Amino acid sequence: MKKMISIILTAAICLLMFTGCSTTNPNSASNGTSASDGTSAADETSEAVNPSESDEPKAKEAEPCTVAIAVGTYNSQTLKAQKYFTEYLSKELNVNFVFSEELGGDVSKNLTFVENAYAVGAQGVIDWAMLSSDDVVPIAEKCEQLGLYFSTWLVGSLDSISHLDHVVGVTAGNDAVIKDMFAEMVNEVLSDGEKHNLVLATAGAHNGSVQQVRASVGILEAYRDMYGLTYSEDIEKLAMLDAVTEIETGVDDVKITIFPKFTGDELSNVLKNGEYDVVAVAANLYLRFESVIKEIEEVHNMDIKVITVTEISDTTYNSFNTLDPMGNPSLNAAFLTTSGKVTLTLALLLNGIYGDIDAILVDGKPATYNNQSWICYSPEEYEVINKVDTSEDTYIYNADEFKQMLKFYNEELTAESLMNYAQEYSSKESVFARRGLD
Amino acid sequence: MKNKIKISELLDNRYFNYYLPIILLFVLTLFFGVTTGGKFLQLQNLQMILNQALVVGIVATGAVLIYSSGNMNIAMGGSTAITCIIAVNVYLSTGSMLLMFLTSVVVGIAFMGMFCVLSEVFKLSIVVITVLFMTMLISLQEWIVGGKTLKVSYESLKGLQQMNVPILIFIIYFVICFILFECTKLGRTLKFIGENKDCARQTGIKESAAVTIAFLVSGLGVGLGAFSIIVRASSVGGSTAGGLNMEVVLAIVLAGTPMTGGNKSKIFSGIVGAVMVTMLNNGLLQLGVSSIYIQAIRGVFFVIMVMMSGKRPEVLPVKDMV
Amino acid sequence: MEQEVLLTCKGITKDFGATRALDSVDFSVVKGKVCGLVGENGSGKSTLSSIIAGIYQPSGGEMEYMEKAWAPKNSLEAQDNGIGIILQEAGTIPMLTVAQNIFIGKEKLFQKHLVIDKKAMNQAADDVLQDIGAKHIQAGMMARMMNMQDLKVVEIAKAYNCDPRIFIVDETTNVLSHDGREILFRLIHKLAGMGKSVLIISHDIEELIEHCDMITILKDGKMVTTLEKPDFDAKKIKNLMVGREIKGDYYRGDMDPYSDEVLLEADNITTLREITNLSMQLHKGEILGIGGLSDCGMHTLGKTLYGEERLARGKVTLTQKNVVVTNAELAVKNGMAYISKDRDRESLALDAPIFQNIAVSGLEMNQHVKPFVSSKMEKQYVNEQVKGLDIRCRSEYQIVRTLSGGNKQKVAFGKWFAKGSDIFIMDCPTRGIDIGVKQEMYRLIYNMKKEGKSIILISEELPELIGMCDRILIMKNGSISREFMRSGDLSESEIIEYMI
């Protein structure tokens, strides 16, 4: 009797575990080698506008291959990407994907996954799991050892792995313009000519995270220009402070506090007097601060403007559409990283697997490929953005456009042309135009 | 009826019972070997599987001594991580691989020793002490390296990796533990304490002495495990050794040592269980099973093994009833 | 004299798997009589009564009750038809009151509208308790606040309240205190006087001889015979139970002396509970008995002498070695041994094999090269005991839980014999053990004395103390009330005075 109950309970637990998973079926071929039979590639005429294209339809079909993807956490972004890869690209490109379990930033677990991926017959590994640039190095080196191609989105890692032959390149959120984009957001949101006190949540800037440093610098520069501030120190140094600090601005009625912490409670401490009415967040931490900000707004009957990095997901949709107690939108400006960043990692990797790595190296070394980030200022705009990547008609890159990033299909591909292509095609305007969302 | 009796007789047979996990491991190997068309059995693959299992295998081997006495240590993950951090810092300041190794060992043992001392001083069960430390150590780890990583240069570790140092470490440690557990009175004492604490005490066994030694030996395992982590991953970060606790318990139980310890404890549970897990991961992935299902299958395996190890032979009504 | 038979069993057989517990047993329950059922463990006596009470269904044979065919499906059906049984295990529900326990299943009797009239129930329960002579038990008290003996009396009240025609008492008396036993037997005779029948299953032959009209003996699942009162004879009954003649004395036949040398001394000891200002001495080669009512503190004394119980005052000393005993480790190191009354929980590791249970005491001794334990020496260590004590088992790797009570006790003994301990403290060592094995144990204890070992024998069975000990200390309320020397004339009634 007891045994029967245990068996039933075990079965129930197993079943319930799957309810938490996304509805997509992770790719699982019946044997570990080749993928589902591929449809022939690109026999339809390509609709995409390609700067370095040729007009003939490509009838080539690439050899089936296996790509392993190391996942840190299965958040909505990863799940969307997984769906895109396994349900769409897999068929179109004849590629088999092997996804890891949640590795959570653990180097040993990732190494184990890479070894197992090799055993399964993968030819390349994309890393979406490591949280720090240093951690990428052993993974890249293990891939090198096993002869697997490697790409990642951790831009800070490139220098330490560029000497490895199998590293195909890294993708980034276009750090060069991040500063300007954040400055633009500040200017747009605070364009009322009033003075606003700012809490700048710098997140991992003090640890050297490039994007967060640039974002923080951008915000501080915009503030400086807007209010004619004089900082006592170098802006980058200020952005990288590792303790909560009210910095000198040179102007009495403009206060700025640098907030390099991660918890809502600590933020509440800073905001509790109601002196600050702008919160800018340089990383995807808004959700942690959302309820605290709402509370302060209620208590002090004020509107706190929020500028933050966030992801394209239902939670952001909710944040945009929720009005704060004052009847104002909760989010004022969102800096969004799109799936283009992860798609690029695949494009780079496949070039390596297909033997075309030389086409994407710069001076014989792997390079950084930028993906445009988007800014959204309103719920209406977000409504449109939220439609991206939800169906075959709304992917940032459809199959043909994706193939243009592979030398195998696009013989004229060079590193430079790919960089330009990625830059252009990942922009909000281009995507909206191509997908009829504008 | 006859078959039922035969099966329970088999399960009762002490040799069968003892070696069952090893038999299962063998069966699992064959199973995957056949279903992957031999790919699984390639030497390189098997070596990889063993290497992946080593850290857990080392720490779990030491943990068997603790669990066999009916105690628990759930601060193993945290202790290992902090040991890694301290050892890497020593390396970064001195550049000496040897010092890093010695530091690992000393710190690992010191941690366990500290638990024992605190248990005595505060008259708290040592299990409670480890529970207290579990979260403290994880927070400490997050605070020291959270977001960052401490790196040891890959070049200096390459040599150790090529010499298969982790495997050598494991073999030596296993032999030590085997001798202590099977050939000296320590193992017998620990197992008896795990069977019945009160009876052990009344037989004149000093529980605290035996358990302290078990913790210290396990501490050596923690130190060696920490060193092996460094050799394999060449870095220590906020999530290093996260989950090690669970992996160790999983390994031990999977390979036939009951969580309550006692006579059925087996010193090889640590490594056999660890290899079973990595084998499952590798083999199922080779068969094309998705990672999510692999986790579920691991869980089911675990439950089955627990049920089997807890199984009492079907007892004919004893004279009390008749 | 024509005896009216209430219930007949014809050819009753019961199988549990491959074991035949009862083999074609014919048995009758006579109206208005008290019948005792005896047999060794494994004889089938409890199975037979359980079948009559509907707890088990027979595998073969038939029963007739009140001139109708009788095949109860469960004990509730039996109860409703007037057969009540009190079992050895606990039959009360801790979270209910005494009254609720007595009237369990019959709450409707006190239902007024939708509510149960607690007051009425309590009153009715008080009446029942009054009836059976258990005035000291309060109807409103929670069962979990009561001790084991009183709970048993509540069970008796419950069964009595069902107005049974046949009242079955299974191995209950050894749980009861002296008062409890008085209540029970008073009730039994009352019921018999009212024309009811009583069936008592017990190991205590003397008790049965005193109270029963007839005694039926079972052995190995078969009926041996039924003796009427005139033929009652303890020795005869014992022989019939064992199936052979018990040769020689059951206990000791000698009057051998003991040495003057004091080995163990308790000097004015007081513990945190039960024991107050107690002093005693144990001599070399002495069998010292400690007796009293079950809560007199004798069990605690045993633990205290071994260092298992904390002292508030005084000390326990091994006089020859000049060692103060403060914990078990020290005691063992200095040649002491302890066999607990709670054998299963304290003296044995039930789920470990016989081997481990015995070998654990010899871990130091069996090291041929320190610190390595020699498996060979261990094997010899264990085998000597298994053979020497005639422990009946499939192999020395058999799990102790699967052994019979007697063999379990032998394992507990073996652990200490192998070690060569000099001072043995034994708490109720023959409890729940077959007559045959019991005799073996008594032989053993006497041999130990002859070898110069010293034994403290704590027991609730007076005959055992009188039969085996050189000296008996009777305890009452935590201290020694009287000392008796070994003598052929010593009687139970003399001793009981000092116990109560």
Domain ranges of chain B: 44-309
Best mutation site among C171, C329, C341 for testing chain B: the one with the most B CBs within 10 Å?
C329
Shortest CB distance from C352 goes to which of B5, B201, B263? B263
Q: Quote the CA–CA distance of A220 and A202 in Å, as a whole number.
A: 11
Cβ contact A110:A129 at 8 Å: yes
Residue A51: asked if its preceding bond is cis (omega within 30°), the reply is no
| Per-residue pLDDT at B145 | 82
A72 pLDDT higher than 50: yes
- A2: nearest CA in chain B? B307
Q: Quote the CA–CA distance of C416 and A56 in Å, as a whole number.
A: 95
- B185: nearest CA in chain C? C363
pLDDT-derived band of residue B7, with 50, 70 and 90 as boundaries? low
A144 pLDDT higher than 60: yes
Average confidence (pLDDT) over B176-199:
96
Does B188 sit within 8 Å of C359, measured CB to CB?
yes
Average confidence (pLDDT) over B44-66:
94
Residue B3 with chain C: CB contacts under 8 Å: none
Cβ contact C400:C350 at 8 Å: yes
The verdict on domain B44-309 having CATH code 2.60.40 is: no
Does C329 sit within 8 Å of B206, measured CB to CB?
yes
pLDDT in tens, C265-289: 999 999 988 899 999 999 999 999 9
Question: Is residue A48 in a domain?
Answer: no
Question: Is residue A29 in a domain?
Answer: no
Cβ contact C223:C25 at 8 Å: yes
Chain B: closest CA distance from residue C300 (Å) = 14
Cβ contact C470:C287 at 8 Å: yes
Chain B: closest CA distance from residue A35 (Å) = 10
**Regarding beta strands C5-16 and C60-65, do their DSSP bridges make them parallel or antiparallel, or are they unpaired?**
antiparallel
Best mutation site among A15, A115, A128, A145 for testing chain B: the one with the most B CBs within 10 Å?
A115
Does B290 sit within 8 Å of A105, measured CB to CB?
no
- C346: nearest CA in chain B? B199
Residue C449 tokens read as 């004395």
Domain that holds residue A157: 60-172+338-372+397-435
pLDDT in tens, A232-291: 989 999 999 988 999 998 888 899 999 998 888 889 989 988 899 899 998 888 888 888
Does A27 sit within 8 Å of B52, measured CB to CB?
no
Does B291 sit within 8 Å of A100, measured CB to CB?
yes
Question: Is residue A160 in a domain?
Answer: yes
Residue C399 with chain B: CB contacts under 8 Å: 12, 313
Coil, strand or helix at C485 = strand
Burial of C14 (0-12, 13-18, 19+ CB in 10 A): buried
Contacts of B5 (CB under 8 A, 6+ apart): B314, C18
Taking one residue from B and the other from C, the number of pairs with CB-CB distance under 8 angstroms is: 113
- B14: nearest CA in chain C? C397
- B202: nearest CA in chain C? C328
Instruction: State whether A319 and A362 are in the same domain.
Output: no
What's the residue count for chain B?
322
- A15: nearest CA in chain B? B296
Instruction: State whether A202 and A312 are in the same domain.
Output: yes
Q: Domain holding A107: CATH number?
A: 3.40.50.2300
| Per-residue pLDDT at A29 | 35
| Per-residue pLDDT at C316 | 96
Neighbour subunits, B (≥3 Cβ pairs < 8 A): A, C
Shortest CB distance from C42 goes to which of B14, B196, B319? B319
pLDDT in tens, B95-120: 899 999 999 999 999 999 999 999 98
Question: Is residue A402 in a domain?
Answer: yes
Smallest CA-to-CA distance from A235 within A190, A202, A203 is with A202
List C-alpha distances in Å: A20 to A97, A133, A357, C137. Answer: 21, 31, 39, 58
| Per-residue pLDDT at B314 | 36
Q: Answer whether B233 touches A (CB < 8 Å).
A: yes
What does the mean pLDDT of chain C come to?
A: 89
Instruction: State whether A140 and A282 are in the same domain.
Output: no
Cβ contact C47:C22 at 8 Å: yes
Cβ contact C142:C134 at 8 Å: no
Average confidence (pLDDT) over C238-264:
82
Average confidence (pLDDT) over C93-101:
91
Q: Quote the CA–CA distance of B239 and B246 in Å, as a whole number.
A: 14
Please identify among residues 281-310 of chain B the ones whose CB lies closer than 8 Å to any CB of chain A: 281-282, 285-296, 299-300, 303, 307
Q: Quote the CA–CA distance of C217 and C39 in Å, as a whole number.
A: 6
Task: For tokens 């009777």, name the residue.
Answer: C474
Residue C330 tokens read as 């020290």
Cβ contact B231:B157 at 8 Å: yes
C94's enclosing H/E stretch is none
Q: Quote the CA–CA distance of C133 and C187 in Å, as a whole number.
A: 8
Smallest CA-to-CA distance from C363 within B266, B71, B216, B204 is with B204
B317 pLDDT higher than 50: no
Residue B294 tokens read as 């692999």
Does A31 sit within 8 Å of B288, measured CB to CB?
yes
Does B200 sit within 8 Å of C346, measured CB to CB?
no
Chain B: closest CA distance from residue C367 (Å) = 8
Helix axis angle for B207-233 and B185-195, nearest 10°, is: 110
Chain A: closest CA distance from residue B143 (Å) = 12
Q: Answer whether B191 touches C (CB < 8 Å).
A: yes
Question: Is residue A167 in a domain?
Answer: yes
C368 pLDDT higher than 50: yes
**Regarding beta strands C19-30 and C336-339, do their DSSP bridges make them parallel or antiparallel, or are they unpaired?**
unpaired
Query: What's the one-letter identity of residue C108?
Result: K
Average the pLDDT over each of B10-14, B191-195, C154-158, C490-494 and give the range with the smallest value. Answer: B10-14
Q: Answer whether B245 touches A (CB < 8 Å).
A: no
C474's enclosing H/E stretch is strand C471-476
B247 pLDDT higher than 60: yes
Query: What's the one-letter identity of residue A205?
Result: A
* Higher per-residue confidence, A51 vs C131: C131
pTM (2 decimals)? 0.76
DSSP assignment string, C247-264? -S-SS--------S-EEE
B69 pLDDT higher than 80: yes
Does B239 sit within 8 Å of A105, measured CB to CB?
yes
Residue A131 with chain B: CB contacts under 8 Å: 147, 237-239
The verdict on domain C5-242 having CATH code 3.40.640.10 is: no
Average confidence (pLDDT) over C137-145:
88
Q: Answer whether C13 touches B (CB < 8 Å).
A: no
Smallest CA-to-CA distance from C401 within C337, C432, C357 is with C357
Cβ contact B77:B221 at 8 Å: no
Q: Answer whether C493 touches B (CB < 8 Å).
A: no
Shortest CB distance from A137 goes to which of B45, B154, B300? B154
Coil, strand or helix at C68 = strand
Average confidence (pLDDT) over B1-12:
60
Residue B301 with chain A: CB contacts under 8 Å: none
- B42: nearest CA in chain A? A119
Contact of chains B and A by CB distance (3 or more pairs under 8 angstroms): yes
Q: Quote the CA–CA distance of C130 and C136 in Å, as a whole number.
A: 9
Q: Quote the CA–CA distance of A295 and B47 in Å, as a whole number.
A: 56
Residue B81 tokens read as 């991580």
The helix/strand count (H/E) of chain B reads as 14, 2
Please identify among residues 46-65 of chain C the ones whose CB lies closer than 8 Å to any CB of chain B: 46-47
Q: Quote the CA–CA distance of C24 and C46 in Å, as a whole number.
A: 15
Contacts of A15 (CB under 8 A, 6+ apart): none
Angle value at C-alpha A149, between A143 and A150, nearest 5 degrees: 75
pLDDT in tens, B200-242: 999 999 999 999 999 999 999 999 999 999 998 888 888 888 8
Please identify among residues 280-299 of chain C the ones whose CB lies closer than 8 Å to any CB of chain B: none
**Cα distance between the two ends of chain A:** 63
Chain C: closest CA distance from residue B108 (Å) = 25
Question: Is residue A408 in a domain?
Answer: yes
Instruction: Compute, in degrees rounded to 10, the torsion defined by CA atoms B110, B116, B122, B128.
Output: 110
List C-alpha distances in Å: C446 to C298, C377, C459, C483. Answer: 22, 28, 16, 21
Residue C21 with chain B: CB contacts under 8 Å: 317, 322
DSSP assignment string, C255-317? -----S-EEEEEEEEEESSS--SEEEEEETT-EEEEEE-TTSSHHHHHHHHHT-S-EEEEEEE
Cβ contact C143:C92 at 8 Å: yes
Residue A135 with chain B: CB contacts under 8 Å: 149, 235, 237
pLDDT-derived band of residue A76, with 50, 70 and 90 as boundaries? confident
Contact of chains A and C by CB distance (3 or more pairs under 8 angstroms): no
Residue B316 with chain C: CB contacts under 8 Å: 16-19
Does C347 sit within 8 Å of B199, measured CB to CB?
yes
pLDDT in tens, B263-301: 999 999 999 999 999 999 899 988 888 887 888 888 888
Does C361 sit within 8 Å of B204, measured CB to CB?
yes
Task: For tokens 């652990």, name the residue.
Answer: C415
Q: Quote the CA–CA distance of A131 and A105 in Å, as a whole number.
A: 6
Instruction: Compute, in degrees rounded to 10, the torsion defined by CA atoms A185, A189, A193, A194.
Output: -120
Instruction: Compute, in degrees rounded to 10, the torsion defined by CA atoms C81, C82, C83, C88.
Output: 120
- A359-397 burial: b if 16+ Cβ within 10 Å, else e: bbbeeeebbebbbbbbbbbebebbeebbebbeeeebbbb
Q: How many domains does chain A have?
A: 2
**Regarding beta strands C166-170 and C197-201, do their DSSP bridges make them parallel or antiparallel, or are they unpaired?**
parallel
Cβ contact C93:C104 at 8 Å: yes
| DSSP 8-class letter at C352 | S
Average confidence (pLDDT) over C418-445:
89
Coil, strand or helix at C367 = strand
Residue B160 tokens read as 């150790």
Residue B176 tokens read as 């030590």
Q: Quote the CA–CA distance of C484 and C500 in Å, as a whole number.
A: 16
DSSP assignment string, A260-319? ----HHHHHHHHTTS---EEEESSS-HHHHHHHHHHHHHHHT---EEEEEEESSHHHHHH
| Per-residue pLDDT at C175 | 67
List C-alpha distances in Å: A149 to A164, A343, B201, C396. Answer: 10, 16, 61, 61
Cβ contact B268:B245 at 8 Å: no
Residue C250 tokens read as 């059951």
Smallest CA-to-CA distance from C426 within C395, C457, C461 is with C457
Q: Where in chain C is the domain with CATH 3.40.50.300?
A: 5-242, 262-496
| Per-residue pLDDT at C18 | 67
Coil, strand or helix at A70 = strand
Q: Within a 13 Å sphere around the CA of B57, how many CA atoms are in the beta-carbon half?
A: 27
Q: Answer whether B183 touches C (CB < 8 Å).
A: yes
Coil, strand or helix at C9 = strand
Question: Is residue A5 in a domain?
Answer: no
Residue B322 with chain C: CB contacts under 8 Å: 16, 21, 41-44, 46-47
Query: What's the one-letter identity of residue B59?
Result: V
Q: Quote the CA–CA distance of C168 and C453 in Å, as a whole number.
A: 43
Q: Answer whether C332 touches B (CB < 8 Å).
A: yes
Neighbour subunits, C (≥3 Cβ pairs < 8 A): B
Best mutation site among B184, B199, B311, B316 for testing chain C: the one with the most C CBs within 10 Å?
B199
- Options 3.20.20.70, 3.30.70.20, 3.40.50.150, 3.40.50.300; which CATH number does C262-496 get? 3.40.50.300
